[in-house]
Each structure stands twice: as structure tokens, then as C-alpha cells.
Amino acid sequence: MLRAVVGVGANLGDRLSTMRAAADALAHVALVDGRSHVYATAPVGPAQGEFLNAAILIRFHGCPADLLDALLAIEVKLGRVRGERWGPRTIDLDILWIEGRLVDTLELVVPHPHLLERAFALMPMLELVPEARDPRSGAPYRIPSGDVRRLPDLL
């Protein structure tokens, strides 16, 4: 069984409702052990609206590739259309971290390749798993500086 953190983000439409719908859909394919607060941040990439980000701690019976397939299916169900890289999107689900595991395939890299640079991903993740360590180095994760604000909402 995988213990993993899934990042949930959105910057189009009713962001919070869509993020909660994604979390609810994820609960049908994995055991949800926790949901973080929601964090707001400026987007990475082209000019676009503010992003909302959160994280979900799960236990998943299956391999990382199967989890990725489940996340992609949830995105499609919730109207995700892939266009411009890092462009606006209704929902974005990423496997941020899997406890004790490294994955490096053409389809999937875990920990997320930009995790160490993104406070908006690390803050909600560490809210759920404060003891999380980088499986490459064994070092505990530290939150980098970034303009991120925590909202009162829980995912």
C-alpha cells in the first residue's frame, strides 16, 4: 500500500468546489487520511488568475502508475482540458510525494520534480505529514520562501 500526498490545485471556475469534488472523487479510489487547508498563490507560468492549492494524504492499494491513472481520470471527469503548459486549469492533481519511494519514468516523477521549489505545494503537504523526508537524501523537507497565504478553508 502506498502512503502518498496528492496536490490539488485550480485557478478557473468555482475553484474551491472543484477542488472539493476532486477530493471526494479521490476518496472513491483511495483511503483519505487527511485534507489540508487551502493556500492561495500567484500562478507559475503565463499570466493568469490566482491559484488555490491544497493537499490530500491518502493510502492507495496499487502502484504509482495506477494512482496517476486514477488522478488523470478524475481530472477529465471534472473538465480538465490540457492546453498550454502551466496554463489556466479547472483542476490539477499531482502526486507530490510517496513515503519512502522514488519514481522516475517518462510518465511520472515522484517526488514531484518541482516540490522543493514550491512553497504552495510543500506547505499543505507538511501540514499533513510534518515528518515527511525526501526519499533521495533522507533530509526533512523545509518550506522555501514564497508568497503563499493560508486561507481559513479546509479542502
The reply to whether 101 belongs to the active site is: no
Q: How many domains does the chain have?
A: 1
Instruction: Give the residue numbers spanning the domain of 108.
Output: 2-154
User: What is the tens place of the pLDDT at every residue in 26-75?
Assistant: 999 999 999 999 999 887 777 677 889 999 999 999 999 999 999 999 99
35, 89, 101, 133: the active-site residue: 89
> pLDDT per residue over 100-145, tens digit each?
999 999 999 999 988 988 898 999 999 999 999 999 999 999 987 7
Which residue in the list 80, 134, 136, 147 is annotated as catalytic?
80
Q: Is 3 a catalytic residue?
A: no
CB 108 within 8 A of CB 93: no
* Grid cell listed for 123: 506547505
Active site residue 147: no
Q: Which domain CATH number covers 44?
A: 3.30.70.560
Please report, to the nearest 10 degrees, the dihedral formed by the alpha carbons of residues 69, 40, 90, 27 taken in order: 40
